[in-house]
Amino acid sequence: MTAPATAPRASRYADELAALGVVWQRDMLHYVRDRLKIVVTVLQPVLMLLALGAGLAALLPASPGGADYRTFLFPGMLVMTVQAPAISAGVALVTDRQAGFLREMIVAPVRRETLLVGRCLGGATIAACQGALLLPLAGIAHLPYDPVLLALLLGELAVVALAMTALGVLLAVTITRTESFYAVLSVLTMPLIFLSGAMFPVQGLPGWLSWAVLINPVSYAVDALRRTITGYLPGPVPPQLFDGPRWGGWSPPVALELAGIAVLGAVMLVWASRRFGRLG
């Protein structure tokens, strides 16, 4: 008796997965075909690591294990590399809305939430791939080419990429005016990096900015990557450089930081999906 009802339901799930895959594949095809964008997105953090990192490393003493400012900067560069393409998923959604392609998508016989999740997965995959392109430069930052370390960093970047993609998409579906979207995006993205400890220790910030570091999810992303790296360095590291955000003197473990980022990303994705489902 249940077979006739089960078959249409299974077919409906298959259609939803197929639609999700099509949206993801579309984003990936755009990514692999735009080689100039890939190079430009990676070039900025590479130049900062080579120029800024090398310049400031000469002013700061290295640890006995060889870690210096470049080692400190490398996790921040990974997050910066992931941030740009992740946030671009929201920009692409705005562009599709302007071009009229979004209206053609939402009339498809599938749930709108499925289309949005496919866009988020595509943006997160692209962002993680961009971060992976930076991992071969680990030796410049005095990191060992340990397969376990690189795999851990890539997995952590995937979590960060999904959360940042969800943020970009949430902004895109919440802010309907294109000019307002770009204005909010430009104001939001840079403070997320500057107040995360990506480029300088958070302990150097004024006391009245300490709250901004604690509520900034990027702070925990950078700290998780940095603490994962320090676990594989051959010697001790300068505590004034590698000390991340603290809750009343307590440093949250890496697993808790990543779990918090994942939960925040899931909440933003659900919120964005519900708003997207109500678009006219």
Answer whether residue 4 is part of any domain: no
Instruction: Report CA torsion sign: 202, 205, 210, 212.
Output: negative
Q: Which residues contact 13 (CB under 8 A, 6 or more apart)?
A: none
Element containing residue 241 per DSSP (H, E): none
Whole-angstrom Cα distance, residue 66 to residue 243? 17
Q: What is the pTM of this model?
A: 0.87
pLDDT at 1: 43
Q: Are 61 and 128 in contact (CB under 8 A)?
A: no
> 146, 133, 125: which is closest to 230 by C-alpha?
146
Whole-angstrom Cα distance, residue 198 to residue 209? 15
Q: Which residues of 179-195 are buried (b: 16+ CB within 10 A; e: fewer)?
A: eebeeebeeebeebbbb
Whole-angstrom Cα distance, residue 112 to residue 175? 18
Answer whether residue 6 is part of any domain: no
Answer whether residue 9 is part of any domain: no
Answer whether residue 3 is part of any domain: no
Neighbour count for residue 247 (Cβ, 10 Å): 8
Q: Which residues contact 97 (CB under 8 A, 6 or more apart)?
A: 103, 172, 178
Amino acid making up residue 225: L
Answer whether residue 153 is part of any domain: yes
Q: Identify the segments of the chain with pLDDT beneath 50.
A: 1-2
pLDDT at 58: 67
**What is the count of structural domains for the chain?**
1
Domain span holding position 151: 14-277
pLDDT at 212: 87
Whole-angstrom Cα distance, residue 113 to residue 98? 20
Answer whether residue 75 is part of any domain: yes
pLDDT at 51: 80
Element containing residue 254 per DSSP (H, E): helix 254-277
Answer whether residue 192 is part of any domain: yes
State pLDDT tens for residues 218-259. 999 999 999 999 888 877 776 666 777 888 778 889 999 999
Six token digits for residue 270? 């659900």
Start-end of H helices in 58-194: 69-99, 101-106, 112-134, 147-174, 178-194
Answer whether residue 65 is part of any domain: yes
